[in-house]
Structure 1
C-alpha cells in the first residue's frame, strides 16, 4: 500500500512555486509493541475520556482545547481559531533563507521527512530549488504547519528529492552551561592522549547503519516466542560489577592491548561489507490462531525453542 502523506501544499521560493507532499522519513511500526491487558481476565484495557469532576464519559465532538489559567479556570481555544493564526503557512512552505549546513546545531534537529513533488506538475520548479541548494551547498530554512502548530523546517537535497528536518525553537534547547559548569578542568597528558588516540584508531570504521543491531528488540521477540511455545523462562543472574579504575594510564594501556588482541580484522580498502538482512517484527512474530494451529505448532517445535529467524523484510517507503 502506498504511503500516505502527512501534509500536502506548496513549496515556494520567491515567485517560484510547486505542489509538494511531505512524508515521514522514519517508522517504528516494525518494533515490538504491547497492549495493556487486565491480568485477571486477559482482556485489553480500554481508555475512556471522562469529565474530571462528574466522572461521566465525554464524546469526542464535545472535547476542545483549553489553556489553564489557574486551578479551575481554562481559556477555551477552538480549532478554527488555531487555523486562523496559522495564516498562509498552513498550505505553503515559504523558504525564508539559505544557510550553510554546518551552521545548524544538531541539538535543534527533531525528525526527518521526505519532500517530493505532488502530482505531474511542478517537477521543473522543484528541480530548480533542489539543484540550486545542492550546487551552493546550502540548506533552505522555511516554515510548515503540522497539526495546527507552525514548525521551522530545514530542506536539503537528498537524491532526486528533498529531506526536510523539523527544527526546535531556541526556547526548547537548554543551555549547556547549566550542566557543564561543574565539570573539572583536567589537564590531559600527551601520553594519555596518544594512548587514547591509538584505541580510537583501532575502533575506527565507516558509518554503516546496516550494521546496527537492536539487541533489545531481538530479545523481546525471543522472549515472546518462547512464552508462546510454553518454554520456561529462567531467572536472569545478577550482572557482575566491575572494580573501580584506580590508575587511568594503566586502564588505557590495558584497553589498547585488549583491542589489539580481539579487535576486528581490518577491512581491505574498497571492500564492501555484505548487506545485513532488514528484519521486522511481522516476519519474526507469526500469529497462532485456533486450537488446531496451536496443536500443529507443538508437534513441529523442538524441545528447546530456538531463536526465530525473520525473512527479509519487504522494501517499503516510510509512511
Structure 2
C-alpha cells in the first residue's frame, strides 16, 4: 500500500516552483503497545469526558477550550475565534535562506519528513532545487503551514528526494544555564584525558543504526510469548551499580577491559546478524514482520490490535 502524504502543496525557491508531497520519515507503529483492561471482566477501558465538579458526562458540542489564568479561572476561547486567527495555508514551502548545517542547534530539531515531487510534473524543477542545495552544501530554511500553525522547516537532499525537518521556535527551547550553572568546575588531568581517549579510540566505530537492538522491545516480546505459551514468569536478577572510589583506577581498569573485549575488524556481518536476530524474535507476534514480507503477504486474522 502506497504511503499517505501528510501534506501536499508546492516547494518554491524564488520563481522556481514544483508540486511536492510531504511524508512522515519515522513511525512508532511497530512498537509494542498496550490497551488498558478491566481486570475483573477483561474488557477494554473507555474514557468519558466528565465535568470535574458534577461528575456528569459532557457531550462534545458543549466542550470548549479555555486558557487558565489562575486556579479555577479560565478565559473561554471558541472554535470560531480560533478559526479566525488560524493561518491560511498557502500550500507552499517558501525557502527563505540557506545556512550551514553545523549552525543548526540540535535542540531545535523536532521530526523529519520525506519530500518528493507530487505527480508526474515538476520533477525538473524539484531536481534543480535539490541539486542546488546539494551543490552548495547548505541547508535550506523555509516555512510551511501545518494544522493552522506556521512551522520552520530545514531542507536537505537525500538520494533523489529531500528530507525536511521541522524546527522549534526559540521560546520552545529551555536555557541550559538553569541546569548547568550548578555543575562544579573540575580540573581534569592530562593522565585522565589520555586514558579516556584510549578507551574512546578502542571503541571507535561507524554509525550503523541497523546494529542497534531495542532490548526493552525484545523483552516485551519475550514476556508476551511466554504468557501466550502459559510459561511461568520468573523475575530476573538486576545488576547492581558500583560506586567509583578511585577515578584513575576505574579508567585504568576500563582500558584493560576494553582491550580484552575489543570488537573484530569486520563488525558488519555481526551487526546484520544481530539485526536479523531481533526480527526473528518479532515473528511470533502477528504484525511484526519485516516490511518486504508484510507487503507480500496479507495480515492474518489474528493480527495484533493497536491501542485506541
Q: TM-score, normalized by length of structure 1? A: 0.83
Query: In the TM superposition, what whole-angstrom CA distance separates every residue of 1:53-83 from its partner, at most 9, and x where no partner exists?
Result: 4544344455443333452433324267437
Q: Report the equivalent of 2:57.
A: 57
Shift of 1:94: 1.1
Deviations 1:29-62 (A, max 9, x none): 1110000001111100011223434544344455
Where 2:218 maps in the other structure, the secondary structure is: helix
Structure 1 distance, partners of 2:233, 2:46, is 29
Partner of 2:31: 31
Q: Which residue of 1 aligns with 2:67?
A: 67
Q: Match for residue 263 of structure 1? A: 262
Q: Residues 152 and 166 of structure 2 are in contact (CA less than 8 Å); yes or no, is this contact kept in structure 1? A: yes
Structure 2 gap ranges (5+): 296-308
SS at match of 2:86: helix
Q: Distance in 2 between matches of 1:280 and 1:123?
A: 40
- Contact 2:282–2:289 (Cα < 8 Å) also in 1: no
Q: Is the 8 A contact 2:86 2:149 kept in 1?
A: no
- The residue correspondences of 1:277-316 to structure 2 (distance < 5 A) are 277=276, 279=279, 283-286=283-286, 312-314=290-292
SS at match of 1:198: helix
Deviation of 1:238 after TM superposition, in Å, equals 4.8
Q: Matches of 1:190 and 1:222 in 2, distance apart?
A: 46
Q: Secondary structure at the match of 1:279?
A: helix
Does structure 1 residue 234 correspond to structure 2 residue 253?
A: no
CA distance in 2, matches of 1:138, 1:238: 47
Contact 2:66/2:74 (8 A) holds in 1 = no
Distance 2:174 2:159 in 1: 34
Relative distance call for 1:11 and 1:316 in structure 2 (3 A) is: farther
Contact (CA 8 Å) 1:32, 1:281: kept in 2 or not? Answer: no
Which string of whole-angstrom CA distances, capped at 9 and with x for unpartnered residues, describes residues 71-111 of structure 1?
2433324267437531344x211111111111101110011
- Cα distance in 1 for residues equivalent to 2:120 and 2:69: 49
Aligned mates of 2:212, 2:191 — CA distance in 1: 33
Equivalent residue number for residue 127 of structure 2: 127
SS of 2:292's partner is: coil
**Contact 2:23–2:115 at 8 Å: present in 1 too?**
yes
- Structure 1 207/95 Cα, relative in aligned 2: closer, same or farther at 3 Å? same
Distance 1:52 1:174, change over 3 A: same
**Secondary structure of 1:87's aligned partner:** coil
TM-score (normalised: structure 2): 0.86
1:113-164 CA distances to partner (integer Å, 9 max, x unpaired)? 0011111111111111111111001111111222222211101101111100
Please name the residue that 1:292 is paired with: none
